[in-house]
Amino acid sequence: MDKLTVRQLLEAVGGTLLGGFDDLDATVDSVTTDSRDIPEGSLFIPLQGERFDGHAFISSALEGGAAGCLTARERDGYLPGKFYIKVRSTHQALRDLARYYRLTFDIPFIAVTGSVGKTTAKDMIAAVLGARYQVHKTDGNYNNDIGVPLTLLKLERRHQVCVVEMGMDHAGEIDRLAALVEPDMAVITNIGDAHIENLGSRENIFKAKSEIFPHLKPDGVAILNGDDEWLSTLRGKLPQKTLFVGRGEGLDYTAFGIETGAASIRCGIHTPKSQFQADIPALGEHMIYPTLIAAAAGEELGMGPDEIARGIGAFLPTKMRMNILRCAGDVVILNDCYNANPQSMRAAAAVLGSAAHRRKVAVLGDMKELGPGSEQFHRAVGEFFAQAGCDRLIAVGDLARFMAEGAKAAGLEQSAYFPTLEDAKEALLREVRAGVTILVKASRSMAFERVVEFLQESIPE
């Protein structure tokens, strides 16, 4: 972050100084909300939640190196040489500060949302644009009402493009986040079933994702999945330029001649301006969507086919997003345990099914926030893996038993359910053998990285 003075902070958040501090030219060069990680000279913003209140850690944060803090209430005492800025709400002040700071940058901002694949799309866009530009992107999965402001506040003057991921689980969230970003490009990867428990229907999810469009600049560009039944209805409906990507007829960006290798995909890419070959260093034909989205973003920013192809080849997925772990003894682990919903499970089943001449094992856990249809969604996932040619399915968790039942009903006899990871360990150990590919996937709250760690520790040296 560029340095901001106390004077600028006061202007940005509409706050007032407390205590005896009066140096309005004092500066901060970073912002943190985590009292356990206090960069020297930073601004500490104490957030409040149902079970925590960061105000309790203000003194320790300041003693730990923060130059000053925001606070929603006056203090009993004030440390000398530290500034305290009083605001009505520290959460709103974080948003206000991020918006103020974002407006100091005259560079393209690209906002990415969608039910499935938004992190992968964000990473692919950043990889492609990185072949020409200095790109700042959302770190990991910092895509909520705290993560997006912090992402904006990490921008530096060297950056030429900013790619921001935006998540949601309730109506109104994309509206608030997009208002902060005010994007030049708006990307929606698809409309799926993630968070349907909160939103009630795919139609409502579509409406919630579409909250991005009123904040897209009038001369901006929307890049949408043209194969998605909901997004395809937007053809000719938006006032901004709209580009559609996918496999269907009449789309602006399409892939052809798709060939799947052991650890990559090769395909041709057709755009309104060119046609070229690309090697995607990832598994699964679903990867053509983030690739085409990134190609569209690249062409909009003036990149040529050689640059775009080079950027695609430099793609690296975020941790736990279909990471390919090649282990000793010819054991391959597909670590895709960051999150899960029916659409991403179907894509993962296709990836596992493409592991030719190998034993294919799926270790699957619960999918959360699917509402009343959760049982049927889980049964359908079991069917996906049976139909994909999976040899063994190990289901772990309260809802995962329906996956095992669905797989068995679809003909996959080697399906088993275990309530906990501890219960499943013996079955997992039997699968650690030469020539096996093991997919590990579940919703984030299941913490299935523990499964990956257990499998890695079980592989003989």
| Number of structural domains found in the chain | 3
Dihedral in degrees, nearest 10, Cα atoms 445, 448, 454, 457: -110
Residues 263-305 have pLDDT tens digits of: 789 999 999 999 999 999 988 888 999 999 999 999 999 999 9
Task: Among 42, 67, 97, identify where a domain stops.
Answer: 97
pLDDT at 234: 98
> How confident is the model over 151-155, as a mean pLDDT?
98
Do 131 and 58 have their domain in common?
A: no
33 found inside a domain = yes
Whether residue 63 contacts residue 44, with contact meaning beta carbons closer than 8 Å, is answered with: no
Residues 93-103 have pLDDT tens digits of: 999 999 999 99
pLDDT at 166: 97
* Residue 20 confidence (pLDDT) above 80: yes
Do 366 and 294 have their domain in common?
A: no
Do 361 and 452 have their domain in common?
A: yes
Residues 164-194 have pLDDT tens digits of: 999 998 999 999 999 999 999 999 999 987 6
Please give the structure tokens belonging to residue 64: 């730990």
184 found inside a domain = yes
Do 85 and 113 have their domain in common?
A: no
* Residue 225 confidence (pLDDT) above 80: yes
pLDDT at 335: 94
Decide the pairing of beta strands 275-280 and 265-270: antiparallel
Helices 421-431 & 449-458 angle (0-180, nearest 10) = 40
> How confident is the model over 354-369, as a mean pLDDT?
93
Do 145 and 250 have their domain in common?
A: yes
274 found inside a domain = yes
Do 226 and 146 have their domain in common?
A: yes
pLDDT at 167: 93
Gap between the Cα atoms of 112 and 356, Å rounded: 33
Do 349 and 295 have their domain in common?
A: no
pLDDT band at 195 (very low <50, low <70, confident <90, very high): low
318 found inside a domain = no
In three-state form (DSSP H/G/I as H, E/B as E, the rest C), the secondary structure along the chain is CCCEEHHHHHHHHCCEEECCCCCCCCEECCEECCCCCCCCCCEECCCECCCCEHHHHHHHHHHCCCCEEEECCCCCCCCCCCEEEECCCHHHHHHHHHHHHHCCCCCCEEEEECCCCHHHHHHHHHHHHCCCCCEEECCCCCCCCCHHHHHHCCCCCCCCEEEEECCCCCCCHHHHHHHHHCCCEEEECCCCCCCHHHHCCHHHHHHHHHHHHHHCCCCCEEEEECCCCCHHHHCCCCCCEEEEEECCCCCCEEEEEEEECCCCEEEEEECCCCEEEEEECCCCHHHHHHHHHHHHHHHHCCCCHHHHHHHHHCCCCCCCCCEEEEECCCEEEEECCCCCCHHHHHHHHHHHHCCCCCEEEEEEECCCCCHHHHHHHHHHHHHHHHHCCCCEEEEECCCCHHHHHHHHHCCCCCEEEECCHHHHHHHHHHHCCCCEEEEEECCHHHCCHHHHHHHHHHCCC
What percent of the chain is predicted at pLDDT more than 70? 99
Whether residue 341 contacts residue 192, with contact meaning beta carbons closer than 8 Å, is answered with: yes
Task: Among 283, 313, 343, identify where a domain stops.
Answer: 313
Do 305 and 430 have their domain in common?
A: no
* Residue 398 confidence (pLDDT) above 70: yes
pLDDT at 365: 97
Do 271 and 129 have their domain in common?
A: yes
Do 12 and 153 have their domain in common?
A: no
pLDDT at 169: 82
Do 89 and 122 have their domain in common?
A: no
Residues 245-264 have pLDDT tens digits of: 999 999 999 999 999 877 78
Task: Among 289, 313, 337, identify where a domain stops.
Answer: 313
User: What are the φ/ψ torsions at residue 36 (nearest 5 degrees)?
Assistant: -85, -10
pLDDT at 427: 97
User: Domain limits at 123?
Assistant: 105-313
Backbone φ/ψ region at 353: left (φ over 0), alpha (ψ -120 to 50), beta: alpha
Whether residue 439 contacts residue 361, with contact meaning beta carbons closer than 8 Å, is answered with: yes
pLDDT at 130: 98
CATH of the domain at 453: 3.90.190.20
Residues contacting residue 449 through CB under 8 Å, at least 6 positions apart? 320, 335, 337
Gap between the Cα atoms of 211 and 269, Å rounded: 30
pLDDT band at 66 (very low <50, low <70, confident <90, very high): very high
Decide the pairing of beta strands 68-71 and 83-86: parallel
> How confident is the model over 194-211, as a mean pLDDT?
86
Residue 69 or 356, more confident: 69
* Residue 362 confidence (pLDDT) above 70: yes
Gap between the Cα atoms of 230 and 234, Å rounded: 8
pLDDT at 192: 83
pLDDT at 155: 98
* Residue 197 confidence (pLDDT) above 90: no
